[in-house]
Amino acid sequence: MSLNLGVIDYGMGNLHSVGKALERLGEKAVSVQGPEDLNSIDALILPGVGSFDPAIENLHATGLVPHLKAWGENNRPLLGICLGLQLLFERSDEGSKDGLGLFQGSVERLQSHPNERIPHMGWAPLKVERNCPLLHSDDPIPWVYFVHSYAAVPLDSSALASTAAYGNSPVTAMVWSGRIGACQFHPEKSSSAGEAMLKRWLHWLHQGAEPVH
């Protein structure tokens, strides 16, 4: 099946690297800057780099927020990346604005550890908590690239798809529910491991995007 991908452009994401990663996999995404750009889009990517409140303010300025909430309520395919994951939650310690609320729970500042730094920056292996369209438990353990100072805490533990170690405790690396998922890490900057996950996601979309329960 043909696939129309949209990458949300709200001034807070590295659209170039996401677009190039998709091009390497034979796909092309259009820029979504307002509600009118959602026409004929099959799946969305919400990237993000920066702070929570300015990101939500920018999203509101595009007029996309009610449409993204409706997109989530209708369980249509969406992939959040980095700050894009955090925006899918209800709130964040980083600011006072409401998030999109597509996942219940909050985003909390990473706790300091003697052998870790904030922001958590660099490569780390993932632990699969449940299979999802990006990663299965029988896949080789992927090392992926993180840059973050906050991590999501899902209210429903079944939404947790993978974690990464930070100090003595795991932190959320990936969440998934239905057709909506997100990565705290950057798959587009995670070399062959990230490329394999994006390829798996695209294959899932082309096969009809069966919801994850």
Domain borders along the chain are 5-206
Q: Is 213 an active-site residue?
A: no
pLDDT of residue 167: 83
Separation of alpha carbons 53 and 61, rounded Å: 12
Handedness of CA 52, 187, 135, 64 (dihedral sign): positive
Helices first, then strands: H and E counts in the chain: 5, 13
Q: What is the pLDDT of residues 25-71, one digit of tens each?
A: 999 999 999 999 999 999 999 999 999 999 999 999 999 999 999 99
Coil vs helix vs strand at 200: helix
Which one of 36, 116, 188, 210 is the catalytic residue?
188
Coil vs helix vs strand at 87: helix
Which one of 60, 108, 186, 210 is the catalytic residue?
186
Q: What is the pLDDT of residues 115-146, one digit of tens each?
A: 778 888 899 999 999 999 999 999 999 999 99
pLDDT of residue 1: 64
Q: Is 82 an active-site residue?
A: yes
Which one of 57, 60, 82, 129 is the catalytic residue?
82
Q: Is 94 an active-site residue?
A: no
Model-level pTM?
A: 0.96
> The sheet that has 29-32: what strands, in order across it?
29-32, 5-8, 43-46, 78-81, 180-183, 169-177, 160-166, 127-128
**Which CATH superfamily groups domain 5-206?**
Class I glutamine amidotransferase (GATase) domain (3.40.50.880)
Q: What is the pLDDT of residues 140-163, one digit of tens each?
A: 999 999 999 999 999 999 999 999
Q: For the chain, how many residues are written? A: 213
- The owner of tokens 């798959």 is 187
